[in-house]
Amino acid sequence: MLIKTKDKIIVNGVSFFYGRNQVLDNIHASFAEGAITAITGPSGQGKSTLLGLFNCMWDEIPGARCTGTIRIRLGDMWVSPLKKDIPMPLLRRKVAMIFQEPNPLPMSIAGNMAFPLKLAGVRDKSFIEEKVQKALAQAFLWEEVKDRLEKSALDLSGGQKQRLCIARALVLEPEVLLCDEPTSSLDKKAAGIIEDFLVSLKAKCTLLVVSHYMDQMRRIADKVMLLQDQGLSQI
Amino acid sequence: MIFSRETIAKNVFLFCTLASTVTISSILLFMIALGLPLFQESSFLSIWTGPWDPYQGLYGIRPMISGTLWIALPATALSLPLSLGTSFVITSLGGRELRRMLGALVRFMTGIPTVIYGFVGIFLLMPLIREGFGGAGMCVLAAVIVLAILISPTMILFFSDSLLSVDPGDVQAAKALGADRAQRLLYIIMPKALNGMISGFILALGRALGDTLISLMLAGNAIRAPRGFLEPARTLTAHIALVNAADFNSLEFRSIFTCGIALYLFTTTAVIAVRFIGRKKSVMQ
Amino acid sequence: MQGFAEKAVVVFSWIMTILLCLFVFLFIGYLLIQGLPSLGRELIFGQADPLQALLGRARVFDGIFPAIVGTLCLVELSATLAVPVGVCSGIYLAEYAGPGMKKLSGMFFDILAGIPSIVIGLFGFSLAVFLHNHFDDRIGPCLLISSLSLAILVLPYIVRSTQISLEELSPGIRRTGLALGANKLQNITYVLIPNALSGISSGIILAVGRCAEDTAVMLLTGVVATAGVPSSLLSQYEALPFYIYYISNQYTNPEELAGGYGASLILLGVCAFLFMLAYGMKKHLSYWTLYRA
């Protein structure tokens, strides 16, 4: 059976400047829905910057400037993050992001998981509980933490922390998941679990993964792109 | 709904910022407004440099400026070697346990209220000076000694901080070349930390210039430019503290505002100098 | 020759350190020896019954109870005035202000933090006289004016320590909330402030310590030697640091002097505790906060 993949994200002529330095130059690309696209390249070439364009995190960097258009299809609607035609919090709830260092907040595991829902204004306790359990189960974490939900999230191991952070991002059921070197601070075994986890998410979201590891990309990615000399090309 | 709440919060924050800015600026405006007529009535220069003689209608603040300098400069000069030596021990010469304890002691010193320094100074130091040097005991020397101790924690904390912020790599490199602790301190750390140390020195000087209680309690408060360490003196700050006129229009009252403006200028210059030094440092890096 | 210079530096450093420690221990030791015997119920409440005094039924004439109450009122009032405004300003400067405004305000508040406290006392004094002459005869130097002046005195610390603790947060923490869909205000209240809390509160504690000990401001704004427990915002009051200052040049008998030592010990205990608490909460405080005269 042939499933026709549709474009989820279309990047058109995007250039990015940081102060006087040009980081990205006239980038064109499209990312298919329900696929994992890996982005690789030498360090310091702006991979994280590129990832941050999709959920407008670059907005927080003083002195940054961006031209061109990015269009993301959320539900049936096309939005352009660079034009800010959607409120930032709404965009970021649908285009979630995972960072290189796991960043659980200094609260309980349950508190971390419920946090995005709280931000979105959800009050219904049983609804929150159900969502939290579902997301933790997706991250293969439910069995490990179900007895210590009220304990601090900072006491988890590195791999557990990262899975918690991914699960936390999934609570809001994002359509796009941006992962900035999600396994580089973890050992091999923990990284393997995360990789399996990311692959299992393909049915629900479109994933963009920045990675340094060739073997990792070969295992999980449907498409690999190289960011070099300010340009993006497929390999 | 959420967005309107966000706008409200932002405006509350902005309002608070404006309120604090306006409140604090009003101090300077108030002082200028109240001190201004004095500048108009007598010649501008004579207020700063003239003598104080109310019976002759002379309200120059020169004796007070001279008293302030006589106390603040020697106190800072005395505090400098004390602070320098202590910060050397805290940052490199002492053992680990000793460093920790000294650090705690210095921080404890910052928490001692000024009035207590003055109180102990009167009953502990004054008799010693009276016996050792004669005179009434209330003199520049007493204020200088206590003030030097009072401002030393400021200097020590700044010194230690700049000494510790030197790149450990440089220090390691020197260590590998066979430099011992004292050599590393003198030839590697000191030159790099110099800017920060100058900042600490200026701030401590500012603190010495602006201190009220020590000179008020220990220096004797005579309105006469001192000519030696055993003579009494009155500082600008003590002069303000001893105000007893409540008539806005009296010249005596207005002269107090001139003192305030003088102090304001002294300390503002110090702060701007420190910020300038700090900027130069960051440019160099 | 060089070896000699280096040795000299080491010897010099140790001598200076020992000298400084000697001074401090002498100061504190002297105070302890003189002050400890006088600590007790008598020192605080004099001849009055403690319970009656605490309930406000009996006036304390020969103890430092009114001075303690006066100091507490002063600290409480000035903190109420300064903390909310200061923290909000700090938040604005750290999170909303543009780079130009940040630079300017940083300079501004640093200069203000450096103004000698006596100048701020003078401001309070002239404000009181001004109000007295132009608005109402009943207004003079009083508890309210003092608190207002002290609030102005400590406002720059609170603003700067709040601003600096927020700005010091790592970009990682800053991004966490935003990436989860928090708007700016949510990010500030749920993520940034809880993470900067130790810095913000140690700034506030330092400010409180300053309010409790700054004699120069009180001197000009309404503190008196005998006022009893303050009855209203517009009444004059007693305060611990002023009591110590007053005893030091007005004492008439050894008992009063002993009271001065006792009061010094109490004030020292309170202030040192507050400062050490603030340091304990945040190891690396900005030393700007120490620099006021």
Mean pLDDT within B98-103? 89
Residues of C in contact with A89 (CB under 8 A): 181-183, 186
At C290, is the pLDDT very low, low, confident or very high (cuts 50, 70, 90)? very low
Which subunits have 3 or more CB–CB pairs within 8 Å of chain C? A, B
Mean pLDDT within A197-224? 87
Cβ proximity of C257 and C86 under 8 Å: no
Asked whether residue B33 falls in the same domain as residue B172, the answer is: no
Q: Pick B46 or C4 by higher pLDDT.
A: C4
Asked whether residue B221 falls in the same domain as residue B120, the answer is: yes
Which of A115-124, B241-250, C176-185 is least confident? B241-250
Q: Chain A, 44-63: which have a CB under 8 Å from a chain C CB?
A: 55, 57, 60, 62
Q: Cα–Cα distances in Å, from B73 out to A158, B69, B201, B210?
A: 56, 6, 11, 12
pLDDT above 90 (res B74): yes
Mean pLDDT within A59-88? 86
Give the max Cα distance, chain A: 52
Q: Cβ of B265: how many Cβ atoms within 10 Å?
A: 10
* Separation CA A84–CA A177 (nearest Å): 19
**Closest C-alpha to B64, from B48, B77, B46:** B48
Q: What are the residue boundaries of the structural domains of chain A, listed by start?
A: 7-230
Shortest CB distance from C16 goes to which of B31, B84, B246?
A: B84
- Give the count of domains, chain B: 2
Cβ proximity of B230 and B149 under 8 Å: no
Cβ proximity of C112 and C201 under 8 Å: no
Which of A202-206, B255-259, C22-26 is least confident? B255-259
Shortest CB distance from B102 goes to which of C17, C116, C118?
A: C17
Please name the residues in contact with C209: beta carbons below 8 A apart, sequence gap of 6 or more.
B111, C270, C271, C274, C275, C278
pLDDT above 70 (res B131): yes
| C245 shares contact with chain B (CB less than 8 Å) | yes
At C17, is the pLDDT very low, low, confident or very high (cuts 50, 70, 90)? very high
In a domain, B20, yes or no: yes
pLDDT above 90 (res B80): yes
Q: Of 3.10.100.10, 3.30.2420.10, 3.40.50.300, 3.40.50.1360, which CATH number belongs to A7-230?
A: 3.40.50.300
CB pair distance less than 8 Å for C183 and A62: no
Shortest CB distance from A172 goes to which of C181, C186, C191?
A: C181
Asked whether residue B174 falls in the same domain as residue B229, the answer is: yes
Q: Looking at the complex, report in whole angstroms how far the Cα of residue C188 sits from the nearest Cα belonging to chain A.
A: 12
CB pair distance less than 8 Å for C122 and B240: yes
Range of the domain at B14: 2-41
Mean pLDDT within B132-154? 88
| A137 shares contact with chain C (CB less than 8 Å) | no
CA terminus-to-terminus distance, chain B:
47
CB pair distance less than 8 Å for C9 and B88: yes
CA terminus-to-terminus distance, chain C:
42
At C88, is the pLDDT very low, low, confident or very high (cuts 50, 70, 90)? very high
Q: What is the pLDDT of residue C147?
A: 93
Cβ proximity of B197 and B184 under 8 Å: no
Q: What is the mean pLDDT of chain B?
A: 83
Extract the tokens encoding B188.
């590697």
**Closest C-alpha to B212, from C262, C242, C77:** C242
Shortest CB distance from C183 goes to which of A62, A89, A118?
A: A89
Q: Counting Cβ atoms within 10 Å, is residue B22 exposed (0-12), middle (13-18) or buried (19+)?
A: exposed
pLDDT above 90 (res B145): yes
pLDDT above 60 (res A57): yes
CB pair distance less than 8 Å for C176 and A103: yes
Q: Chain C, 142-181: which have a CB under 8 Å from a chain B CB?
A: 152, 155-156, 159
Report pLDDT digits (tens) over C245-277: 998 888 888 888 888 898 899 999 888 888 888
Report pLDDT digits (tens) over A141-169: 888 888 888 888 888 888 899 989 999 99
Q: What is the pLDDT of residue C93?
A: 93
In a domain, B273, yes or no: yes
Q: Cα–Cα distances in Å, from A110 out to A138, A167, B125, C191?
A: 15, 11, 62, 16
Which subunits have 3 or more CB–CB pairs within 8 Å of chain B? C
Q: How many residues does chain A have?
A: 235
Residues of B in contact with C119 (CB under 8 A): 27, 31, 210, 240, 260, 263-264
In a domain, B51, yes or no: no
Asked whether residue B219 falls in the same domain as residue B159, the answer is: yes
Report pLDDT digits (tens) over C203-240: 888 888 888 888 889 988 888 777 777 878 888 888 88
In a domain, B171, yes or no: yes
CB pair distance less than 8 Å for A169 and C179: yes
**CB–CB contacts below 8 A, A to C:** 59
Q: What is the pLDDT of residue B252?
A: 74
Q: What is the mean pLDDT of chain A?
A: 87
pLDDT above 70 (res A2): no
pLDDT above 80 (res B263): yes
Sign, CA torsion B229/B232/B238/B240:
negative
Q: Which residue type does A96 have? A: A
At A1, is the pLDDT very low, low, confident or very high (cuts 50, 70, 90)? very low
Q: Give all domains of chain C, ordered by start, each with its CATH number.
A: 63-290 (1.10.3720.10)
Asked whether residue B222 falls in the same domain as residue B276, the answer is: yes
> Minimal Cα distance from A96: which residue of C?
C179
Asked whether residue B27 falls in the same domain as residue B97, the answer is: no
pLDDT above 70 (res C109): yes
> Minimal Cα distance from A174: which residue of C?
C180
Asked whether residue B6 falls in the same domain as residue B83, the answer is: no
Query: Using a CB cutoff of 8 Å and minimum separation of 24, what contacts does C267-271 make?
Result: C267/B113, C267/B115, C267/B116, C267/C212, C267/C213, C267/C240, C267/C241, C268/B112, C268/B113, C268/B116, C268/C28, C268/C31, C270/C209, C270/C212, C271/B111, C271/B112, C271/B113, C271/C209, C271/C212, C271/C213
| A81 shares contact with chain C (CB less than 8 Å) | no
At C139, is the pLDDT very low, low, confident or very high (cuts 50, 70, 90)? confident
Mean pLDDT within B40-48? 65
Report pLDDT digits (tens) over C143-178: 999 999 999 999 988 998 899 889 888 888 888 888
Mean pLDDT within C270-288? 71
Task: State the complex-level ipTM.
Answer: 0.85
**Closest C-alpha to C244, from A14, B122, A78:** B122
**Closest C-alpha to C165, from C27, C19, C288:** C288
Q: Chain A, 84-123: which have a CB under 8 Å from a chain C CB?
A: 87-90, 92-93, 96-97, 99, 101, 103, 105-106, 115-116, 118-120
Give the CATH number of the domain where residue B107 resides. Answer: 1.10.3720.10
CB pair distance less than 8 Å for C13 and B210: no
In a domain, B53, yes or no: no
* Separation CA B215–CA B226 (nearest Å): 13
Asked whether residue B89 falls in the same domain as residue B229, the answer is: yes
Q: What is the pLDDT of residue B282?
A: 39
DSSP track, chain B = -HHHHHHHHHHHHHHHHHHHHHHHHHHHHHHHHHHHHHHHHS-HHHHHHS-EEGGGTEE--HHHHHHHHHHHHHHHHHHHHHHHHHHHIIIIIS-HHHHHHHHHHHHHHHTS-HHHHHHHIIIIIHHHHHHHH-S-S-SHHHHHHHHHHHHHHHHHHHHHHHHHTS-HHHHHHHHHTT--HHHIIIIIIHHHHHHHHHHHHHHHHHHHHH--HHHHHHSB--SS---STTS-B--HHHHHHT-----TTSHHHHHHHHHHHHHHHHHHHHHHHHHHHHHHHHHH-
The one-character DSSP state at A111 is H
Residues of C in contact with B210 (CB under 8 A): 114-119, 292-293
Asked whether residue B30 falls in the same domain as residue B95, the answer is: no
> Minimal Cα distance from C189: which residue of A?
A119
Q: What is the pLDDT of residue A151?
A: 86
Residues of B in contact with C274 (CB under 8 A): 111
pLDDT above 90 (res B75): yes
CB pair distance less than 8 Å for B241 and C260: no
pLDDT above 90 (res A229): no
Q: Looking at the complex, report in whole angstroms how far the Cα of residue C132 sits from the nearest Cα belonging to chain B.
A: 11
Shortest CB distance from A89 goes to which of C99, C182, C194?
A: C182
> Minimal Cα distance from C157: which residue of B?
B20
At A3, is the pLDDT very low, low, confident or very high (cuts 50, 70, 90)? very low
Residues of C in contact with B116 (CB under 8 A): 31, 244, 264, 267-268
pLDDT above 80 (res B60): no
Q: Please state the φ and ψ torsions of residue B267, each to the nearest 5 degrees.
A: -70, -35
Cα atoms found within 13 Å of the Cα of residue A212, Cβ hemisphere only: 12
